[in-house]
Each structure stands twice: as C-alpha cells, then as structure tokens.
Structure 1
Amino acid sequence: MLVDRVRMFILSLLFLLAGCSGGGGDPGTPGTSNPPPTATTGSLQVAVTGLPTGLNAAVRITGPNNFSRDLTGTQTLPDLAAGSYSVAASSITLGGTTYTPTPAVQSVVVTAGGTATATVAYAGTALALALADIGPTFTSPTFVTAPPGDDRLFVLERRGVIRVVRNGSVLTQAWLDISANVFTGGEGGLLSMAFDPNFASNGYFYVYYTDTAQNIVVERYASSPTPNVADPTSGLVILRAAHPQFTNHFGGLVAFGPDGLLYAGLGDGGGAGDPFGNAQNLGVLLGKLLRVDVRTANSGQPYTIPVTNPYLNQPGRRPEIWAAGLRNPWRYAFDGERLYIADVGQAAREEVNLASTSQGGLNYGWDILEGTACFEAATCNRTGLTLPVFEYEHGANNVNGCSITGGYVYRGTAIPELAGRYFYSDYCRGYIKSFFAGDAGVAEQRDWNLNTAGRVVSFGRDGAGELYVVSESGRIFKLVRGSAG
C-alpha cells in the first residue's frame, strides 16, 4: 500500500511539472536587435609608384579641420573626416635624376564609411643645367648680388666700380665708383658687397675692398635720391684691418647673417704657410670670420660687439672674432641656420666647413691642418679643431683643382629640384659642382658638366634667389634648366 501511494505521488508531481512547462499561453513579443551605427569617417589610400627602392616620396595630404600629413610612400590613412582632400606631390632629385610626380596635385573626396584612392606616379628624367650669358662683358668682375625682391643686378668690378644691370642692359652711370680708393694689386680690389636687411627703408649697403695702403676695409654707403645711383659722399668706414706684407689672402666677403649681424671673412695675411701665425692668433683679425652689429653705426662707434660673440671681454682676444683658423675664405654662405665656409688650401687640399650659425668660437684648423690632414707634419694635435664636412685633393697636375670658389645653397624657385644643394667651383678647373649636406653627411656629389664659364671667380644671387656664375673672362652667367639629352 505504501509503495502504491508513493508511486501515485510521483506521477502527480510529474503531471504538474509538465503543465507548468507546456507551450500554451502568451508566446510573448518577438526579440529585436539594434541597427549597426552609422559611419562618420572614411579612409584614403595613397599609392606611390615609380621611385627606386630606398628613395622617399614627398607627398602632402591636406583636408578638413586643418588636417595635414606628409607621406614618404604608399599608405592608407584611416578615420578621416568626410570631405575633399588635396594630394600634392613634389619632385625629388637623386644624383643626376629628377623624379617628377603625375599628377602633381589632385583632389580626392572621402565619404563616410568608404575608402577613396589616389595614385601618385613618379617618372625619372635626367636633370640638366645650363649657363645663360646675361649679355654684357664687364671689366674684371668679382661679385654679383641684389637686394631680395629687386629686379636689378649689381655687378662689382675689381677696379672699384659697381654697375647696375636692368632688363639685360647695363645702365650708363655706375651705382658707385670708389676706384680712387682701391688697391688692385695681387688679389686685391673691390671684392664684395652686402645690402642692409633694411635697405628698402634705410638705403644702406656695405662694400669690402682693399684700400691704397693695402688694408682690408669694410665700408658703408647709402643710396641717393637719384634712381640707380648711390651717394659717393656717404661713406662710413666700419672696420679696417692691416694687411701690409703680402698681396694675397685678403679674404673678401661681407654678408649679413640670419641674425641681422654683419659678417666679414678675412684671409690670413698672405704668404705661404701663414708665416706670421695669424690664423691661430686670437689677438689679430686676419684668418678669421668676424661678426659685428652695425644697426646703430655712426662715425663715433661704427659697430658694437654682439653679447654672444665668443671672445667678448677676454683680454688679448679680439671680440669681433666669430671663428678662427681660416686661410683664405673664398666664399662663405648662409642657408637658414647653417653656415658654409669654403676655405682655399695651400698646395694639397680644398675644403668646405659647415656649422650652425649659433656655433661661435670654432677653430677650423689652419695652419695646423690643411683640410683634414696635418699641414707639413706627420702628426698634429686636432683637439678643439673643427674638421671640414667636405674636401678634395688637388691631385697630380691639379687634376681636381687648386683653389676652391665657394658658392651658395640653391633656394630659388626656377629649379625646385635643386633645393638644398650647395654649389661651388674651382678657379683652376672651371667646373660647376654641387653636393647635398644632410644629417648623414655629404651626398649627391655631382659635376654638372658646365665648363663653358672658364675660370670662376665667384658666385652670386639675384633678388629672386637664382644663382649666377662670375667668370674671369668678364662674362656673367645665370644657372638655368638645361635640355636633358
């Protein structure tokens, strides 16, 4: 009996459980899923083709919300705001080949949730240069320059005359004639000029010459109310350095740096091997690069010493000195915050020194060193000396040259592929060469096969930053794009 009752209880329990779990009743509301979120950004895929392995592209992407990104190769940019983007590519030069992008500029629309594409195809062509004769022949020209933005060209003649060239013609009247004050023996003469950074408002310019007593002189003059003629009575001597013994190594460049200060590069006084030890003597100005402030120049105080000059208030040392150890700097050049100095060697090596414009007190080694080599000694102490970033040996019979003519870093607009290349020549060989000085050292050395200028005395720049070559023949040439062939 008991077993039967237990059996009946279990059956009743199972029946109740089955009723509670049955499929009857309200089936309920069918389940719903949330829709995917709406995309608000898109992507841009940029494909770069045609460049050799290891050569970076130069592509800039700009777009909404001040977006800007530089690319060096193929890349996909995600999470971009929807809108129109500009893809601008620049030419690249490697060695003698220029890689030109097609298209140079294109517009691409990025849509929300989509991926837009842009292709930049580079094609390489050989870059060639040529020398365009500006026309007139001058009497022993030494330098050419112009104020920024000015359409005139100012040509210096060694005898002490400055001519103005406009629209290919030499103006009849000279800009300035100081020939009565100029010594032209040996390497002397009127050697350079520099326009004041505020020339447009104050009319000042500075000339570097050797006077009749063979001194090195930097003198300021002013323009006059007469167009294209300076005031010959406005001369103010800024500095005068004695150079009595020899008629070579006068240096010869006056220029303003990016700091607004006036620089002058003086030779070591001449003779072979710096016989008086001027370049290493901080008590004399010869063999140095000088830096002075002429913004308040007057007859009582033609210059002041910048407070950052390295030898200020040091007894026995000239406070005008910015750098020492130079033999005959011919020429130097500023490029932004960099300073290139081409220093002529003695009999074996020519050199180019490179430093930041903030590095005062450097010693470039002459006459302990000629280039990187000990001068007339098997060994020497290089401690504290700054070695050149570039040099070349003369070679047998001066096959490589004998006297460097320093130029400029190209920053013009006519040949953008040349940007950043430093140009130079050699007086004995007449070639036009260039190199690129990067963080890893000197690269892209190139001879442009432009020997038509003859002996190159100097380089120069016009108001647009284009480069010129001054030939001993009296001709002046502009560096222009040539025909590749």
Structure 2
Amino acid sequence: MPFHPARLFLLSLFLGLLMGPLAGCNRGDGASGVSGPVQPQPPAPAVGSLVVTIDNLPPGTAAMVRISGPDGFARALGGTQTVTGLQPGTYAITARPVTAAGQTWIPSTASQQVRVGAGDAARATVAYAVNNAALALVRVATGLTEPVYLGAPAGDARQFIVERAGRILVMQDGVLQAQPFLDIRALIDPIVDGLMSIAFDPGFAANGHFYVYRTDLNRDIVLELYTVPCHCDVADPASVLTLLRIPHADALIHYGGQLAFGPDGYLYVATGDGGVANDAPGNAHNLGSLLGKLLRLDVGAASVIEPYGIPPSNPYLGQPGRRPEIWASGLRNPWRFSFDTAAAAGASLYIGDVGQVTVEEIDLVPASQGGLNYGWNRMEGNTCYLAQDCDRSGLTLPVVEYVHTGAADSPCAVTGGYVYRGTAIPKLAGHYFYSDYCAGFLRSFYAYGTEVYAQREWSVPRLGLVTSFGQDGKGELYMVTLTGDVWKIARATP
C-alpha cells in the first residue's frame, strides 16, 4: 500500500536522527568527520594612522603644519601628533615658517607627501631651523666683456655666460672655453641693451634648441631660436629662426630682457614699457601692445610658417583688440624674472621690476595665475605714482619693495634673482635672492605662497653693477657684474 506523505516525512526524520551519530564516526581516513562552526575572520583594518614628528622649535612655540588628503581631509598641527582613522591614500604635509624669540624658524622640508595604507602607521618628520648660514662670494670668472647673464640646461655641468655685445661663452670646470658658443655681434646695435638672456628648451638634451632675447640693428626687440647640431660647445648661427620682433622706436631703454620656460613648458618673455618717461604712451596698461608685458608662447612646434602658438589658457586669447600673447601687464622694466617649481604652496613666479623714481619692487604670484596687472604706471611699488591717491582695484602689488636713498651707494635698479634649490648649502633652500644694479648688495627672503619671511641682507662685499643672477644645472647661484666678473654664492669657510 502506498506510503502516506506524513508517514514518509516521519521516516526521513527518524533515519536522519539515527545516522547523525554515525556521521560523526571516523571515516577510516583519519578524519573524524566532525565539522565545527566556521570562525569568522576579523576584517582587515580599513584605516591607517600618521605620526608627524615636529622637531627643533623653541619650547612652547607652536608649529604651523597642515595635513591634507583624500576625501577633503585637512588637519592643522601645532606639535608632534599621531593622526588616526585616516583613509588609505596619499597625504600632503606642508609647513610654514614660524617666528619666535625674534627669529624666523624655517622648515627644512616645506612640502612632502606620505602614503598611508590600511592598517599602516606611516611616519613623517618636519624639522625647523634658523638660517644661520654664513655666505661668501667666490669669483669664478673674470675678464669678460660686459657679461649680463648666466644660465645652463638642467643637469648640465657647463655654465653659459652671455655678453651684452652678442657673444655667449661656455665655462666648464671653472675654465672659459676659447671658442664662443654663439657669436652674433654683427647683428646687434651696441648702443642699446644688446644680447640680454638665453633660455634652454626643456628638451635641449635631445633637440639642441635654445632661445635668445636681444635687440637688433633697428633697436627693436627680437626673440630667436637656435640649434646646437651636436652635443658640443658650439651652436650653429645659420640655424636661426626668428620667432618674434617687437618694435621699440620711442626710446633706447626699458627693453625688459628675460626669457624662461615655465613649469607648464611654455616660454615666457618679459618686455619693457618702451622707455618713454612715466610711460606716457600707456604701453604697460594697453593690452593691444606687447610692451610692458609678460608674454607666454608655445614654441614646441616653431617653424617658419608658424613661429609660435598661443597656449589655449592665455587670458586674452580670442578677445578683440587684445594681444593673445600677453600673460600679464602693468610692468615697467622687468629686467629679470624666474620660476620656482619646488615651492611648498605651488610653483611661483618672481619678477624684479625696475622702478622710475623712488621704489624698486619684487612681485610674487602663483605661476599658474595669468591676466594680472602689476600696476605700472598707476603705481610705483605700493605707492601711487604722481598722485596722492589712486584706484588700486584689480592690481597685483609687490611683496617686497625698497627705496632709493640718494646716497653715493643708493639703490637704482632691482636685479631679480632665483630661489635657491642647490645642494651645497641646504639651509638656503627656498630662499629667494636678489640685488641692485647700483647698490650691489645680496639680499634674500623666504616665501610661503605670497607671504614673506626672513628678509635679510647678507654680510658679503657689495659688488658693482650687478646685471644678473645665474643658476647652473645643479641649482647653485651666481652673481654677474657688468665689470666683467662672475661670482658664485658659496658657504663661507671659518
């Protein structure tokens, strides 16, 4: 007779109870057959921690350290601290200078990055110190003919010295080479500024391209590209490609004079206002004129047909009546400018702009910030020019200025320099150096963003007619004088 479903269920239940103990017996393979409950594994830690050690500040002095990281994390630290509960990722640690006991304490590492992993205890150290280095000026070249600039490609062991009359000389291991790197004296009117600076293409090691800024026989500004045909010390004068010519008919001064590649790979060119007293034509403010400006050009594909391109982020691109080459305006005679790509608060641009009557100025802005107006001729430094009051709205004013004194060794024209990024004098890291053509002092300051700290004048002999600073391929700095000498900034020996 067929099984009733209820009876079938009871039979299955009885057999299950009967076989249960047997299932726990040895299966004959050494295993008991018992499977205990699966123990859950503890979850891997999802967060980590970061120990930030802050050293060398005076007791009771709070540091100015900031941590930022994933998901908008930000934390300010005043002293050594362990920060817990951090999401895995990369954290930036930036440190500002601190003023205490009448001294400025500079972080040895103003910016660093630390990777924090899940379950990790990452570590970082911020060490502060007072810059008590002693400096000396060591003459490394003499007998030059009106040198006005020194430069070098990154990592190159040579120094390239520019003479105003139109020669570029090579110095290697302290020895000037007999044959000029480039000689274009026949192309230059010696009455005006002449050959003013050189800039090496970021790809110089591969393409041999370099650029010069000069005046021509018509006394106009000329920007040119040359090529070194091999890895040697002589360029090919016939390789010249003229990129830009700017008429400069009104006066024989205020040519600007600097060109340099920015951190974005574009070529920046500084022009003077044309030289007429007080900039009466209004060139510096006129966005239809290339005078009194900082220009920004794309020379990566320079050719006869298209000598340069306009970077798409140039501020006046596509605006009628405004020159698309312009990056910044309101400059009088920006003889020397430079970039610092290792700044803690981001790449920075420093401009030494020569004043008219009383004030010399240094401008400092983020390198990425275009479309700025530096004020001339409405302002001279932070002072209204030829007026008791003026409209400062929309102007970018200097972070450092100094005045003419009327004394025999009075300042007369600022000579902008560089931020020290060499290795020979670590305590100088991050300090910007500048001088004055007439006064010949050596001064410096340290900047975090546009905040200026630790201004000082160094106890070294004052030089005469300082035309430029120079930076070699290792980041060491030099001073160049029109009298024919090149001096290296070095650590003073006891």
Identify whether the pair has TM-score above 0.5, normalized to the shorter chain. yes
| 2:225 counterpart (216, 220, 228) | 220
Report the Cα offset of residue 121 of structure 1.
Answer: 10
Displacement after TM superposition at 1:374 (Å) = 1.0
Counterpart residue identity of residue 203, structure 2: N
Give the deviation of 1:473 after TM superposition.
1.7
Matched, 1:152 2:162: no
Aligned-partner Cα distance in 2 for 1:42–1:207: 51
Of stretches 369-378 and 432-441 in structure 1, the one that deviates more from structure 2 is 432-441
1:371-410 equivalences in 2 (<5 Å): 371-397=381-407, 401-410=411-420
CA offset at residue 453 of structure 1? Answer: 2.8
Amino acid in the other structure paired with 2:446: F
1:191-270 to 2 correspondences below 5 Å: 191-225=196-230, 227-270=232-275
- Secondary structure in structure 1 of the residue aligned to 2:281: coil
1:180 partner SS = helix
**Quick one: distance in 2 between partners of 1:154 and 1:52?**
48
Q: Check whether the contact 1:309–1:320 (CA below 8 A) recurs between aligned residues.
A: yes
Contact map agreement 1:408 1:459 (CA 8 A) in 2: yes
> Deviation digits for residues 158-195 of structure 1, max 9, x if unmatched?
11000000111111111000110112214x11100000
> Which residue number in structure 2 is paired with residue 51 of structure 1?
58
Q: Deviations over 1:14-33 (max 9, x none)?
A: xxxxxxxxxxxxxxxxxxxx
Alignment match, 2:446: 436
- 1:143 Cα deviation after fit: 0.3
**Alpha-carbon distance in structure 1 between the residues aligned to 2:287 and 2:204:** 33
Superposition deviation, residue 100 in structure 1: 11
Equivalent-residue separation in structure 2 for 1:189 and 1:449 (angstroms): 33
1:164-203 to 2 correspondence within 5 Å?
164-186=170-192, 188-203=193-208
Residue 126 of structure 1: SS of its match in structure 2? coil
Give the deviation of 1:450 after TM superposition: 2.0
- Please tell me the residue identity of whatever aligns with 2:287: L
Report if aligned partners of 1:453, 1:477 keep a CA contact under 8 Å in 2.
no
CA contact (8 A) 2:57 2:63 kept: no
Instruction: Return the letter of the residue paired with 1:347.
Output: V
Report the more deviating stretch, 351-360 or 92-101.
Answer: 92-101
- Residues 281-305 of structure 1 show CA distances to partners (whole Å, capped at 9, x for unaligned) of 1111000000010111000110011
* CA distance, structure 2, for counterparts of residue 277 and residue 177 of structure 1: 36
Aligned-residue offset at 1:482: 1.1
Pick closer, same or farther for the CA change 1:313–1:164 going to 2, 3 Å. Answer: same
For 1:246-395, list aligned pairs within 5 A: 246-336=251-341, 337-395=347-405
Correspondence for 1:412: 422
Q: Which amino acid counterpart does residue 377 of structure 1 have in structure 2?
A: A
Query: Helix, strand or coil for the counterpart of 1:273?
Result: helix
Q: What's the C-alpha RMSD, in Å, of the aligned pairs?
A: 3.3
Q: Which moved more, 1:456-465 or 1:226-235?
A: 226-235
SS of residue matched to 1:227: coil
Superposed, which structure 2 residues align to 1:52-201 within 5 Å?
53-54=60-61, 56=63, 73-74=79-80, 126-186=132-192, 188-201=193-206
| Distance 1:259-1:48 versus aligned 2 partners, 3 A rule | closer
The answer as to whether partners of 2:103 and 2:130 remain within 8 angstroms in 1 is: no
- Give me the whole-angstrom Cα distance separating, in 1, the residues matched to 2:310 and 2:179: 37
| Match of residue 473 from structure 1 | 483
Which residue identity is paired with 1:51?
P
C-alpha displacement of 1:224 = 2.0
1:397 CA drift (Å): 3.2
Tell me which amino acid in the other structure corresponds to 1:270.
G
Asked if the contact 2:365/2:450 (under 8 Å) is kept, the reply is: no
Give the C-alpha shift of residue 440 in structure 1.
7.0
Amino acid at match of 1:248: I
Letter in 2 for 1:213: N
Unmatched tracts of structure 1, length 5 or more: 1-40, 61-68, 80-89, 102-118
CA drift at 1:438: 2.1
SS of the equivalent of 1:407 reads coil
Which whole-Å CA distance do the structure 2 matches of 1:356 and 1:124 have between them?
26
Whether the aligned pair in 2 keeps the contact of 1:98 and 1:126 (CA below 8 Å) is: no
Aligned partners of 1:263, 1:100: CA distance in 2, in Å?
A: 31
Query: What secondary structure, in the 3-state scheme, does the structure 2 residue paired with 1:131 have?
Result: strand
Equivalent-residue separation in structure 1 for 2:219 and 2:158 (angstroms):
31
Within 2, Cα distance between the matches of 1:446 and 1:297?
Answer: 43
Report if the CA contact (8 A) 2:359-2:402 is conserved: yes
For the residue of structure 2 that corresponds to 1:397, the secondary structure is: coil
Answer yes or no: is the 8 Å Cα contact 2:167–2:184 preserved in 1.
yes
Give 1:357 deviation, angstroms: 1.9
Does the 8 Å CA contact 2:298/2:310 hold for their aligned counterparts? Answer: yes
Structure 1 140/311 Cα, relative in aligned 2: closer, same or farther at 3 Å?
same
SS at match of 1:417: helix
Structure 2: distance between partners of 1:372 and 1:285: 24
| Number of corresponding residues | 410
Is contact 1:93–1:418 with CA below 8 Å preserved after alignment?
A: no
Which shifted more, 394-403 or 168-177?
Answer: 394-403
CA pair 296-345 structure 1, distance change in 2 beyond 3 A? same
Gaps in structure 2 of 5+ consecutive residues? 1-47, 68-74, 86-94, 109-124, 342-346
Identity %: 51
- Rounded Cα–Cα distance in structure 2 between residues aligned with 1:353 and 1:75: 36
2:20 corresponds to: none
User: What is the TM-score with the length of structure 1 in the denominator?
Assistant: 0.77
- Structure exhibiting the larger radius of gyration computed from Cα positions: 1
1:173 and 1:130 mapped to 2: Cα distance?
30
Once residues 249 and 297 of structure 1 are traced to their aligned partners in structure 2, the CA distance between those partners, rounded to angstroms, is: 27
**Structure 1 residue 43: Cα displacement:** 12
